[in-house]
Amino acid sequence: MTRLQDLQEQSVQLLEHCVDGLDDAAHQWTRPEIDALTLAQAARRPLLVRGEPGTGKTQLARAAAQHLRWRLLTEVIHARFEPTDLVYRFDAVRRLADAQAGLSLDDKRYWQPGVLWQAYDWAEASRYGDCRHGLHRLAGHVILIDEIDKADSDLPNSLLEVLGQRRVRVPGLNLEFGLAKDQAEPLIIITTNEERELPPAFLRRCVVLNLAPDPEQSYVDWLVSRGHAHFGAIDGHERATLGEPVLRVAAEQLEADRHEAKRAGLPPPGPAEYLDLLYAIHKLADGQPEEQMAWLIKLSAFAYVKNARPEGSTQPSQARSPVATLKVSAPGQTAA
């Protein structure tokens, strides 16, 4: 049986079916990630992952699901999200349209099981909505509830009953069920960008992992280590890579722009912007180190300096000089 505690610190896991622009994206496991996931699964508690965008919160859930060979169920939270949406949705608009078109009405088509319903009783959920088509049974489920801080306190508070009693209700179908006997306890991973404070009662029911720069590393070295996980060479695998100079100069430029933004009292760029820039360079100049550096110098301001600069302001400007001092040619030209 595959177990989370069998993961090795610093091991790199290639991720399948990625949606972030690379077919061979990878996750580099850290000891805190492994230990926090192990505790959450053993204690049957959700794992709340804190950290600014780009620190790998969502990727952690993908990597855990792939390692366990479980289905990943994802729900991205937004301001209009209803607590019941985690359990079910009823598509009344589609049902009305089908009725007006004179189609045969099967109510099971219009009930869409949410991530909690699917994870707690897949056999029942697979009789409804889109779950009836093309999904085979797996040993377990990893639930990713992404950016819970986008919702108001009703959402985390509504999870308390499910987390405490491990029971799910669908009132419209008169259904109430706990975890099916032949299903593994789902691993629930919840992410927050800290835009809204979460209720203390909810936090007490979570295992918490703070994804932040390693205090034993400089910020630049920490960024470079994340860049290596996404774009560095992996033993035994052929993959497109970005060289150490590009990863480091991109990190040094981010640190400089981050410092200027903080000094001006503006939201600073972070790991998300760093990875966005690296993805773009990878696409524009795969396998061409000089071209990569030239594109980095040319494009970094548009990735990192995002705040408007009113006239007469001392805010950072996209016209700032790059930190790179290497003599490089413009993209598409030959270096002198």
Q: What is the DSSP string of 234-302?
A: BTTB------HHHHHHHHHHHHHHHHHHHHTT-PPP-HHHHHHHHHHHHHHSTT-HHHHHHHHHHHHHH
Q: Which domain holds residue 268?
A: 219-304
> Would residue 310 count as lying in a domain?
no
> Would residue 124 count as lying in a domain?
yes
Q: Are residues 157 and 58 in the same domain?
A: yes
| Alpha-carbon span 307 to 317, nearest angstrom | 8
Q: Are residues 179 and 283 in the same domain?
A: no
Residues 108-133 pLDDT 10s: 888 999 999 999 888 888 889 888 76
> Would residue 330 count as lying in a domain?
no
> Would residue 329 count as lying in a domain?
no
> Would residue 322 count as lying in a domain?
no
| Alpha-carbon span 237 to 22, nearest angstrom | 15
- Give yes or no for a contact between 56 and 27, defined as CB atoms under 8 angstroms apart: yes
Q: What pLDDT score does 235 carry?
A: 59
Q: At residue 64, does pLDDT exceed 90?
A: yes
pLDDT interval class at 312 (50, 70, 90): low
Q: At residue 19, does pLDDT exceed 60?
A: no
Average pLDDT over every residue of 146-167: 85
Last residue within a domain, chosen from 210, 239, 272: 210
Q: Are residues 36 and 168 in the same domain?
A: yes
Q: Are residues 289 and 166 in the same domain?
A: no
- Give yes or no for a contact between 145 and 115, defined as CB atoms under 8 angstroms apart: yes
Residues 225-262 pLDDT 10s: 888 878 876 655 555 578 899 999 999 999 999 999 99
Structural domains counted in the chain: 2
Q: Which residues of 71-96 are buried (b: 16+ CB within 10 A; e: fewer)?
A: bbbbbebeeebeebbbbbebeeeebe
| C-alpha to C-alpha distances, 326 to 21, 58, 90, 331, nearest whole angstrom | 28, 35, 59, 14
Q: Which of 10-14, 38-42, 160-164, 171-175 has the highest mean pLDDT?
A: 38-42
Cβ count near 200 (within 10 Å):
7
Q: Are residues 41 and 80 in the same domain?
A: yes
pLDDT interval class at 17 (50, 70, 90): low
- Give yes or no for a contact between 80 and 137, defined as CB atoms under 8 angstroms apart: no
Higher-pLDDT residue of 281 and 132 is 281
Instruction: State pTM to two decimals.
Output: 0.84
Q: What pLDDT score does 208 carry?
A: 97
Average pLDDT over every residue of 172-190: 86
> Would residue 87 count as lying in a domain?
yes
Average pLDDT over every residue of 179-190: 87
pLDDT interval class at 319 (50, 70, 90): confident
pLDDT interval class at 168 (50, 70, 90): confident
- Domain with 35 in it: what CATH number? 3.40.50.300
> Would residue 333 count as lying in a domain?
no
Q: Are residues 187 and 265 in the same domain?
A: no
Q: What are phi and psi of 307, to 5 degrees?
A: -95, 145
Q: What pLDDT score does 328 carry?
A: 47
